[in-house]
Amino acid sequence: MSDYLRLESRSSRKQMLPYLPPEVITLILSRLPAKSAVKCTAVCKSWYALIKDPSFISAHLQQAAALQDDYLLLLGLCGSTLRMVYRLYRENDAFEEYKQLLPPFKFGESRVFVICGMCNGLVCLAGFDSDSCSIILWNISIQKQFIFPTPDLPFEGRYKAAIGFGYDSESDDYKVLLIMPPVANEDLTEVWLFSLNRCSWTRLSKVCPKHSCYGFGQVVFLKGALHWPGYLNDDMFTHMILAYDLSAEKFHVLNYPETLKNHVHELCLTKYGESIAVVATGIFEVSGEEQLELWVMKEYGEDSSWMRVLHSTGENGEFVFDSHLFYVLGVRKNGELLLIVRGDRGYDFWLATLDLNCHTPNQQLQCLVGDIDIYASFFGSNVESLVLLDNGEEDTNVK
């Protein structure tokens, strides 16, 4: 392009911009990818103020969610360095790897590290080392992070704490709930709630649950509530789901199917559409084979609506799949299960999808990615957003 044309195009832009109605400019900017919108804050002061306005950030998030151009986030260990690496995959049939990311610099040396939830483009991370506990919100799209002040927690119970993250739509606030189990027989459960709007922790002494929860990092955010697998009245033989409503700031209990209430192994929760599902694993008594079941609560909150949608063994007790189904990570938007299967060698593991609408075992299961780390795997759906743009810090570790 000649210098004359460049000057002419710049002049044309200057003449056009004043004649664009503000609502049109807002609509155009709200449809941009998150990183492009951030770059537009450098165009002029009015755009800077607009894009950093909370109402624009909410409008941009609604547009991104409507596009349904989501990415699946998977966590794993990287080779001999044992460093955590994130992989973003496109939520499509090809399941293409989009990007690899390192965790924020704050957690580079943490020995214990877990994802405590994902919501509206934010990932909540908790890292533990020898003398501290750190919690952080991380926006992958715009490389911003918010490091929480941490409450004064007893060291003995940190590694057993249940941490959940979600969004309170009634107060337009992001909240983190931390449940500390008793560290001695005479101690009580401690419950702490962090509000991003208030930027502070509050100890909830009046709403401490009588039930215990387990599954560090297995929290499910759904219907405005956080959900953990747990035990009824601390009875290790009676399973239930402990839920916490972020708006009402109250605990409540959801019951499992009757056949799982006294299951001998721990149960895992996952989101299934707009409801919740439970994964039950164990050893089949007749053949000694591993088994895996998936139950879905068709009507959220209705105990009678549980339905079993997956059972990995046939009537004779034999495994019906060529590969052993080791663990269910979650459910994709197309209804397929994303899970981990054991390979032919017995110690290798693959990421696979399972089509519940197909009734031929050999066609149901499709392997996607091999050689994954089963003990550092996490699944979650990520959408581009500008949340934290107005109050987060730059993440210097992400390129």
DSSP string of 256-305, one letter each residue: PPGGGTT-SS-EEEEEETTEEEEEEEEE-TTT--EEEEEEEESSTT-GGG
Residues of the domain holding 269:
263-319
Alpha-carbon distance of 290 to 357, in angstroms, equals 23
**Are 146 and 269 contained in the same domain?**
no
- Whether 245 and 277 share a structural domain: no
Q: Are residues 176 and 281 in the same domain?
A: no
Shared domain check, 202 and 111 = yes
- Predicted local confidence at residue 390, as pLDDT: 80
User: Torsion angle of alpha carbons 17, 23, 28, 34, nearest 10°?
Assistant: 110
User: In this structure, is residue 182 part of a structural domain?
Assistant: yes
Q: Rounded CA gap, 121 and 137, in Å?
A: 10
* Six token digits for residue 141: 């799209």
The answer to whether position 268 is within a domain reads yes
Q: What is the CATH number of the domain that holds 236?
A: 2.120.10.80
173 and 283, same domain (yes or no): no
Q: Report the b/e string of 79-110 with b at 16+ CB within 10 A.
A: eeeeebbbbbbebeeebeeeeebbbbebbeeb
Strands (E), 12-57: none
Q: Is the residue at 246 inside a domain?
A: yes
The residues facing 225 across adjacent strands are 222, 245
Q: What is the mean pLDDT, run by run of 10 residues, along the chain of 399 residues?
A: 46 58 91 94 93 94 81 64 71 80 62 78 80 81 88 64 92 92 67 92 78 73 92 75 93 90 80 88 55 88 90 63 71 83 73 78 71 66 88 61
Q: What is the pLDDT of residue 314?
A: 63
At 246 the pLDDT is 96
What is the token pair recorded at 289?
A: 């084979």
The answer to whether residue 331 sits within a structural domain is no
Is residue 247 in a domain?
yes
The pTM of this model reads 0.84
Q: How distant, in Å, are the alpha carbons of 16, 139, 140, 182, 334 from that of 388?
A: 32, 7, 11, 34, 30
Coil vs helix vs strand at 206:
coil
Same domain, 139 and 250: yes
Domain end (from 255, 271, 298):
255
pLDDT value of position 313: 65
169 and 278 belong to one structural domain = no
Residues 198 and 291 in one domain: no
DSSP one-letter string for 106-132: GGTT-SEEEEEEEETTEEEEEEE-SS-
Residues 121 and 212 in one domain: yes
What total number of domains does the chain contain?
3
Residues 180 and 157 sit within 8 Å (Cβ to Cβ): yes
What pLDDT does residue 287 have? 47
CA distance 399 to 382: 18
Determine the number of helices (DSSP H) and then strands (DSSP E) in the chain. 6, 26
Paired strand residues for 253: 242
Please check whether residue 356 lies inside any domain of the structure.
no
Overall residue count recorded for the chain in this entry = 399
Tell me whether residue 394 is exposed, middle or buried, using C-beta atoms within 10 angstroms of its C-beta: 0 to 12, 13 to 18, 19 or more: exposed
Are 274 and 240 contained in the same domain?
A: no
Q: Is residue 379 part of a domain?
A: no
Closest CA to 33 of 99, 104, 124, 102: 99
Give yes or no: residues 172 and 199 share one domain: yes
pLDDT at 156: 59
Residue 316 has which token pair?
Answer: 């004779």
Q: Is 6 helix (H, G, I), strand (E, B) or coil?
A: helix
**Domain assignment present for 89:** no
* Judgement on whether residues 173 and 249 belong to the same structural domain of the protein: yes
